[in-house]
Structures are given as C-alpha cells and as structure tokens.
Amino acid sequence: MTLINSLWNNKKFFSFIFYTALIVCCYLFFSQPAFNIDVAHSDKYGHIMVFFTLAMLLNRFSALRIKLQILLLTGFGISVEIVQSFIPYRSGSVDDVVADILGLLLFYGLLKLIEHFSATNKHD
C-alpha cells in the first residue's frame, strides 16, 4: 500500500488535519486582516473553498450522517459570523454564511455524483 493510499484511508490523519484546519480558520476569521485583496467577492470565494475543504476533511474521518455534517459545519459558519459581528475590525455577514453553505453543498453534491457514477461503473 502506498503512502498516499494509507493516508487517504487513515481516519486519525484526517481528524488531525480537520481540527488543525478549524484552528487555522478561527485564527484567520477572527484576526485583523493584514491586507485587502482588491478582487470582487474574493472573500466569498474564500468561504466557499474553506467550507468545501472542511466538509471533505470531516467526511473523510467522521461516521456522522451527511445531514449532521452539514448542520455542524453550517453552525460553525453561523457562529463565526456572530462572533465577527462583535469584533471591531470585523463584521458578520449573512452573505458569508450563504457562501459557506454553497461550499458545503458543492462538496456533498460532488460526493453524491462520484458515488453515483462509481456505483454505476461497478454494475457494468
């Protein structure tokens, strides 16, 4: 078994990466921005990518049902925006929560497509 295969199937590895990513995300979400990116909606793209990645990591190690994974990560996104609304140099945004949910739906939708096509290919 190759190193990549053994890591891909290692729940402890993905658990560690997921919780590390949560800590890094909290730091980035709550710290004062060091610079402005002058690209329209760049923060929304960031939210989509972050929550897509968090969903992938959580799904790799968790036995939780997908609906509960979505609920937990959506709750995390909402909590981040609530906390940001109390930080002077940050602001909470419903648009960010929508972007978070879009990232989750993109991941879980892609996962369902992959599962569907791999199941279809096994029957052929």
pLDDT 10s digits, 110-119: 999 998 888 7
4 lies in some domain: no
Residue 40 banded pLDDT, cuts 50, 70, 90: low
22 lies in some domain: no
15 lies in some domain: no
Q: Give the list of residues 6+ apart from residue 14 with CB closer than 8 angstroms, or none.
A: 57, 60, 61
What is the extent of the structural domain holding 52? 47-124
Note if the pTM is more than 0.85.
Answer: yes
37: number of Cβ within 10 Å: 10
Please state the domain count of the chain. 1
